[in-house]
Structure 1
Amino acid sequence: MFWGNGALRVLLFGGFGVPNIGDEAILHGLSAFYSRNFPATRLHCITANPNYSGLFWGRGSTSHHFSDILLHLRADPTIRAALYALDFDALWDQLFLRPVDTNTQSHVHILRRVVAQTDLLHIAGGGFLRMPHCIEVAALLAMIAEKTHKPLLLSGSQIGPFDPETRALSEYYLQRAAYCDLRMERGMEELQRLNVRHSVSTDDALLLALAPAPLRTRYTNSSQASIRINVQLGYCDGEHEQNKSTIGQVIALLAAHRGKSASFRILQCFPSPPVSDFDALSPVIREFDLDPASVEYVDLSYMHPVDAISEVAKGDVTIASRMHAAVLSFLAGRPCYSLTHGDGSGDRIEFIHKQFESVSVSPFALASPSDIAQHALEVVAGDRAAIERKLRRQANRLANAKARELGAIISKLSGSPIARRWQLPN
């Protein structure tokens, strides 16, 4: 099953939808996970999105873009019809046995060859079951895995709500999986209905804690007279409008405390969204007459995930509406307060908070502005280093538990032994 040196051969597929720090983080985290748990792993990384860099996915890995497959699937009515009819014999014949567009045929055969030389197919990250253009490629990979008798593992992805057009493809894809380790979100009942073996992940980016060396960040703001707040509003107009008033109230409450000054670090997790977090906060900045020098804009969207954690660590606390910033904040050892978000991120952040409930200074899930302001002031006035140590210790405990779970599943699926040197300090 393995190459002569006993290496585990893994095909890691990710990069769905819009490039963002969250999907980069899970790919980076999983490549680090394999390097720790299965040191001889040969890793191939592929993506359906040509905008992904593939630079963060592990040393010695190779990456490919397969956007041409996607274009051909959507353009060829015969192939598309076979895909949506779940007629995979016809699809296999059309893709691999008949002449097709030269460029696409080249890509498809590369994909088939890579899968054939792989021990495990691991698909990770993204809300791909919401995006027809992504589930089509994922279903194609599942078909090739089934035809070549390769196990399929899913990690860190959102499930549901299913798109009506792609429900049958989604169900086929999920039922091909030997195991699912997915985000806590709507749709878990679908997995139970389909009788898919699954577990609920703490969340995708928490796998960053599996990096080969424990991340070490320390508070650089030693002043108790000032507080630095990381702010991440969201992705679209609705989120910004919903959350700007909360941020404004927090600013007002902090400004009411004499002798305290606040500066704000705007965290951008998605590249070039319809409205940037900085633009959305500009009216708040003007309304409260903030010094522009007290507002810093930080673009995390194409940043190496470890560097992103270091940037988040420059703040004292974080206010976030998306999981990306919330999990990065916890991994940086910084308390995080959750803003509401309509796509379920608020629920996932609350789930994360519950994992940290043993921390004496607990972050607030879906907190009120007065809670956020009061707790932020307590953080600055207290032992920030102790808070950081407690959050990091809990993150390492969660990461170790996830490593044991995933490692055992992968070892069982592949027959490859697990290394015993990956434990992170508690």
Structure 2
Amino acid sequence: MAAGHGYGNVGDEAQCGACVQRWRSVAPGCKITLFSPSPPYTEALHNEKCEWAPRVAWFRANTDNLYFGDWENFEREFWKLRRRLIWSVELMRRGVKLSFLCPRESSVINCLLQHDILHISGGGFLTGKTRSRLWENCLLMEVCALLGIPYILTGHNIGVFEDEKDKNVARRGLLNARYIGLRDRGISENELNATGICGSHIESTCDDALLCPRADNEIVRSQILKNNGDSDKSWVAVNCHYWGQSEVDKPKFTKQFALICDHIASQLKMQVVFIAMTPTDADCANDVIKEMRQSAVKIPYCPDFRVVRGIIADSVFIFTMKHHPIVFAQGESVPVVCVALDDYYFHKNRGALDNTGHTKFLLNGEEFYGETFKNKIDQVIQQKSTITKEMRTWVEAMRKIELNPYKRVITMIGGSREPLC
């Protein structure tokens, strides 16, 4: 299984954990191996065997700046590697014991050959805003197709392509997918159709982390108390981050975010409880708290997604910039007001809110820096009962089809795949 896990992003780890749980439900004795940029970390968190992710084995993502920063050189190396991979697989298929890959690069192929299927679980990484991840995973899919290994995708946003190169790479990778599950009700489907990828194997369902466990009330209450909060007083879970913002914009942003949090604390008489989805979210929260006039509760970063989900589940509503707090809130029927200051998060957050028909609670940059937030927050509180019902209805519909793709795969495989070599 490949995905965005391995970096300590709470949402990505929740997706991974939920998918592993589903495989264990439909095929209790199956062998699961997780591709990870940090195998020891992922093994400890999910208790499953791990191998180096293609981004590390192929592109040295942990040691070079090629993967995350130097696009020009990444693109050049990508085409060279792709050529060597294709040649090596073709020779393998013909029974020729010759490879153009080093052992580290071959390890990905060797791992694939030991499994019946590749599952690329969800995230927002198959987009033009995360190009190296888009290209890496599409190359992985292309290799699977050459090896004759079926592959499926679940819980994705796909699109926001930068240029025709992105579209061509995506088309080659996604062309032979047996199943593509999307999480944004038609938005990504339209993007796929524009690249020529369409068919009944494509479905808009939900994020992989929509249905996953939460921490119980006692654990949540202890977290609030431990961080100088009042576990008997109502709270709003809040998430903020600096991703995609320039250094010039940060002071203006923190002041405005603090203003909104002060409004929640002073006008609504609710605690503001900051949650972190990544370690760097905590840095942003620190800056916002310094600008606030009212007090706030800051929960330290915790990689256990159940704790974060529990805090969200017991909130009156949430105010978030990131995508997975929305997903957790929907899964727990908690209303959402969210912010998107760039195309990447607008695409993700709008898609998530649209699943339950609540896109009106998304603030763009102009609305965020104006007075609109007050109306949105008022509406969420006034319409809480209706919003909760709408969320619950959609979540129950998703629960009924949760295991369908997994069961379909078991039927599709129908036994062991013949090995290539």
**TM-score (norm: length of structure 2):** 0.72
Identity %: 14
- Aligned residue in 1 for 2:87: 89
- Aligned residue in 2 for 1:65: 52
- Aligned residue in 1 for 2:209: 205
Q: Indicate the RMSD between aligned Cα atoms, in angstroms.
A: 4.2
Trace 1:103-182 onto structure 2 (pairs within 5 A): 105-126=102-123, 127-130=125-128, 131-164=130-163, 165-182=165-182
Trace 1:207-356 onto structure 2 (pairs within 5 A): 208-209=211-212, 217=217, 226-236=233-243, 237=245, 241=252, 245=256, 248-249=259-260, 251-252=262-263, 254-256=265-267, 260=269, 262-272=270-280, 276-285=283-292, 289-291=293-295, 294-300=296-302, 303-346=303-346, 348-356=348-356
Q: Distance in 1 between matches of 2:198 and 2:81?
A: 22
**In 1, are the aligned partners of 2:160 and 2:344 still within 8 Å (CA)?**
no
Amino acid at match of 2:20: S
> Deviation at 1:171?
1.6
Amino acid at match of 2:402: A
Unaligned ranges ≥5, structure 2? 67-72, 225-229, 364-371, 416-421
- More displaced 10-residue stretch of structure 1: 108-117 or 367-376: 367-376
Q: Distance in 1 between matches of 2:315 and 2:304?
A: 18
Q: How many residues align?
A: 375
Identify if the C-alpha distance between structure 1 residues 228 and 15 changes in structure 2 by more than 3 Å, giving closer, same or farther.
same
Trace 1:51-62 onto structure 2 (pairs within 5 A): 53-55=41-43, 58-59=46-47, 61-62=48-49
**TM-score (norm: length of structure 1):** 0.71
Identify if the C-alpha distance between structure 1 residues 270 and 38 changes in structure 2 by more than 3 Å, giving closer, same or farther.
same
- Aligned residue in 2 for 1:192: 193
- Deviations along 1:316-363, whole A, 9 cap, x unmatched? 321012211111223344322222342353454444445446xxxx89
- More displaced 10-residue stretch of structure 1: 70-79 or 115-124: 70-79
- Aligned residue in 2 for 1:420: none
Unaligned ranges ≥5, structure 1? 1-11, 417-426
- More displaced 10-residue stretch of structure 1: 239-248 or 324-333: 239-248
Amino acid at match of 1:365: F
Identify if the C-alpha distance between structure 1 residues 119 and 283 changes in structure 2 by more than 3 Å, giving closer, same or farther.
same
- Aligned residue in 1 for 2:227: none
Identify if the C-alpha distance between structure 1 residues 372 and 404 changes in structure 2 by more than 3 Å, giving closer, same or farther.
same
> Deviation at 1:43?
0.7
- More displaced 10-residue stretch of structure 1: 173-182 or 407-416: 407-416
- More displaced 10-residue stretch of structure 1: 338-347 or 66-75: 66-75
> Deviation at 1:86?
9.8
- The secondary structure found in structure 1 opposite 2:175 is helix
Counterpart pick for 1:365 among 332, 351, 361:
361
Q: Distance in 1 between matches of 2:344 and 2:291?
A: 26
**In 2, are the aligned partners of 1:235 and 1:270 still within 8 Å (CA)?**
no
Identify if the C-alpha distance between structure 1 residues 355 and 81 changes in structure 2 by more than 3 Å, giving closer, same or farther.
closer
> Deviation at 1:226?
4.3
> Deviation at 1:172?
0.7
Q: Distance in 2 between matches of 1:52 and 1:159?
A: 29
